[in-house]
Chains A and B, each alone.
Chain A
Amino acid sequence: MPDSPVMVITGTSKGIVKYLVGYYTDKGYRVAGCSRGETDYKIDNYRHFCLDVSSEDDVKKMFSAIRRDFGRLDALINNAGVASMNHSLLTPMSSVDKIFKTNLYGTFLFCREAARLMQTNKFGRIVNFATVATPLKLEGEALYASSKAAVVSLTEILARELADFGITVNAVGPTPVKTDLIKSVPVEKMDSLINRQAIRRYGEFRDISNAIDFFIQPESDFITGQVIYLGGV
């Protein structure tokens, strides 16, 4: 499928990414993804890269391979993220470092390298991942929420810087979805969070892909610098 569109999805080898890889390869995309380790699945038209999303050398090598082997890039889904639930008075700097490296540095690096590839075709769609923890100002999520607040700011400014290249940059802010990211969070904490949503339920993978579909469809070429928070947050 040499003419089919190409998408990069960052993140872990499990959960939402496995769903997104299957969903977008079914839609005809050739998908390249990455995580620190190998995936536990094999999907046609999916190519996996093992890397650290905050490593400039690793990310540059991945995009060199994409440019060489695919010759184009149409969409980037910047899903990679880590969360850490802890009171700020008890949060070690090692956690701060890890959260910001993955959530902010990784998002920036992929945006930069993707935009460099996209600008040659004067078309691109970038979707970053925000979180409802930012507008809800969740206690215990100070570093996670602030790293994602930085992602929102990055999204809004990149939208302006990349507009002339035909690239849109938006973000989706999912509500809690039952993945590994929240497995260590107490149930009562999750219930309290969900009660602050307009629509009180856990998010589903399809809620996220629906928002991504909106951002990446060709008709959305006038939609940029926006954040969609799911669940009515």
Chain B
Amino acid sequence: MSDNEIILKALYDAVEQVNIDLPADQKLAKSPVTVLFGPGSSLDSLGLVNLIVAAEQKIDENMSVAISIADERAMSQKNSPFRTIQTLADYIDILVQEKTNA
């Protein structure tokens, strides 16, 4: 399994955790194209915070790497890494590589 696949699985685990508290019509699909942020997202700001926290914990548990996803760089990207599950996975992949190569 590649790092990106492991990260996607961790994100799906995080989605499962966040879905527990979401109403049935707002639950997130475990798919790379699921929109997390901006138009088309069913998450409110607190829901996105919950998902990011859960994602960091799952990455730590599954890959033994402690990352901070919502850093200044993430916030200043022209294309938000929080747009979909896949864009978030790609951004986490970069953070994990930087952390493991440091």
Contact = CB atoms under 8 A, between A and B. Distances in A.
Genuine A/B complex: yes
A57 interface: yes
Nearest to B60: A64
A164 B61 CA distance: 25
B57 A116 contact: yes
Main secondary structure of the interface of B (DSSP, over half): helix
B66 A119 contact: no
Contacts, number: 17
A98 interface: no
How many interface residues does chain B have, given as a range? 10 to 19
B57 A119 contact: no
Interface string B57-77: 100110000101000000000
B1 interface: no
A57 B60 CA distance: 12
Interface in B37-69: 46, 50, 53, 56-57, 60-61, 66, 68
B66 A57 contact: yes
A212 B95 CA distance: 39
Nearest to A57: B66
A61 B57 contact: no
Contact of B66 (A64, A68, A120, A164): A64
Contact of B53 (A56, A60, A61, A116): A116
Interface of B: 17, 46, 50, 53, 56-57, 60-61, 66, 68
The 9 tightest CB contacts between A and B, nearest first, are A60-B66, A116-B53, A64-B60, A164-B46, A64-B66, A119-B53, A61-B66, A67-B57, A116-B57
